[in-house]
Each structure stands twice: as C-alpha cells, then as structure tokens.
Amino acid sequence: MPHGISAVILQGAAMRQLQLSTRIYECEQNGWSDLISNIDGITQSLIDNPSAGKQIVNAMKYWQDSVDCRASSLPPDELELMLQNPVMNITESFGTEV
C-alpha cells in the first residue's frame, strides 16, 4: 500500500475517474442535499483517516452509483424529447409563423 504523496496522487486519480465534480453539480442542480451531505462526509473521512483510502474510494463509488441511479429516474428534458421525437419541434413542423 503506497504512503505519503503517492497515496494522495492515487486517490486523486480515483476521484477524477469518478467524476465527482460533475456528480456534485448534478446533485446541486436537482436539490439532492442528502447526497451532497453524504459525499461531504466521505471526503471528510479521507481527510481524517487517509490510511482508509481504499474503503473511502469504495464509498465514493457507491455514492456515484446512488447519484447515477437517482439521475436515471429523472424525466428527460424537453430538448432531449424533441431530439427523440422530431414531431414535437413545432417550429420545424409548421415554420416560424404563428
């Protein structure tokens, strides 16, 4: 098990791989304060106990799955629906005149 700076570098690489920033932003946009609190606790654990890096990375992966699961249950946004169903784009179907 690496110690010191190499452990921090490895843990940093794992965090980038998990795309934490993107998922935290997604949680903020959707008001999922419970998931934000969870990741805050996980990262605080890393600061308090760096030797538990592997367990903490596993907790981060579990958190990532929780965010992805919740995000997948959101309804698609309007633009995504229009791309899947071109008939919904009224301006293309009927022109720009109203």
Q: Is the pLDDT of residue 66 over 90?
A: yes
Instruction: Provide the 8-state DSSP code for 96.
Output: S
Q: DSSP of 65-88, one letter per residue? A: HHHHHHHHTSPPPHHHHHHH-GGG
- Per-residue pLDDT for 83 more than 60? yes
Rounded to two decimals, the pTM is 0.59
From 3-17, 24-38, 43-57, 75-89, the region with the lowest mean pLDDT: 3-17
